[in-house]
Amino acid sequence: MAVAGAVGPVLKVDGLVKDFGQVRAVDGLAFSIMPGQIYGLLGPNGAGKTTTIKCVLGLLEFHTGAISVLGEDPMRAPERTKVSIGYVADDPMLYGSITPREMLDFVASVRGLDAAAATERARELITALDATRYYDSLMATLSRGNKQKFQIVSAMLHDPKLLILDEPLSGLDARTGRVVKGLLRLHAERGGAVLLSTHIMEQAQALCDRIGVINRGRMVAEGTLEQLRAVQHSADATLEELFLKLTEQEEDVRESIDRLRQDMNGR
């Protein structure tokens, strides 16, 4: 839900187009996220989700359209934009030869954070994520889930206005996943905005205030879960069911299961 009295969107994407050679990865995409909202950007593999995120982060140049993060263009003002963003990638991008403590100290230094305050915030988050015992272990020795925990801590260390997460719960156990969901909701309740990309529909249904479904680089539906249900005339449909309909995969899934059933029954 949006925060009462909010002036404008934390993130606004308007008419975004991004090509890779002859392939159009993002085709006129438009959406916005208000303070206090968790927005789910959902789509099949190759739909353009990660490309969109990288454009928002200023990591990719785009051809036409506009992106605004708290009024700043990520391409024209990358340093000012990055101050407002925390990012959790789908694949933890961490140096294996350092410890989480060293990494977080470095992040705090680069972001110009008060060292004592940053250390205290890191300890609070690490404790909540049950990762204290790995604080001084080499990153290379950690499991994917524990690396993901420290990537989340790094992204939230400076209390960003916009938190961008690409498959944030991948590799996490049930306890940690529940804590991360709570952290995201608390972040939104305090006026932050969250852009969440995930393939796990149950997570998106439980977390997101608004949902944008993209397919082949285009927005095919947007709104609350109830609005998506109303458009599809499916009052009790799960988000997974709606997603498969909107991305034209429902019939293909049914046919695939029928073929498997026939093959298995014929053995």
The pLDDT assigned to 3 comes to 57
% of the chain exceeding 70 in pLDDT: 96
Distances (CA, A) of 142 to 129, 134, 218: 14, 8, 38
Q: Is residue 128 a part of any domain in this protein?
A: no
The pLDDT assigned to 265 comes to 82
Average pLDDT for residues 132-148, to the nearest whole number?
Answer: 94
Mean pLDDT of the chain: 92
Q: Is residue 89 a part of any domain in this protein?
A: no
Per-position DSSP letters for 75-142, written without gaps between them: TTSHHHHHHTEEEE-SS----TTS-HHHHHHHHHHHTT--HHHHHHHHHHHHHHTT-GGGTTS-GGGS
What's the total number of domains in the chain? 1
Q: Are 169 and 207 in contact (CB under 8 A)?
A: no
Q: Is residue 241 a part of any domain in this protein?
A: yes
Q: Domain residues for 26?
A: 11-84+160-265
Q: Is residue 201 a part of any domain in this protein?
A: yes
The pLDDT assigned to 1 comes to 61
Tens-digit pLDDT profile for residues 4-60: 455 789 999 999 999 999 999 999 999 999 999 999 999 999 999 999 999 999 999
Distance CA 250, CA 243 (A): 9
Q: Is residue 108 a part of any domain in this protein?
A: no
The pLDDT assigned to 160 comes to 96
> By C-alpha distance, which of 216, 167, 190, 182 is closest to 40?
167
How confident is residue 2, by pLDDT bands cut at 50, 70 and 90?
low
CATH code at position 80:
3.40.50.300
Q: Is residue 144 a part of any domain in this protein?
A: no
Helix axes 174-189 and 144-156, enclosed angle (nearest 10): 10
Q: Is residue 211 a part of any domain in this protein?
A: yes
Q: Is residue 246 a part of any domain in this protein?
A: yes
Distance CA 39, CA 49 (A): 13
Average pLDDT for residues 138-144, to the nearest whole number?
Answer: 93
Q: Which residues pair with 202 in a beta bridge?
A: none
- What SS3 state is found at 258? helix
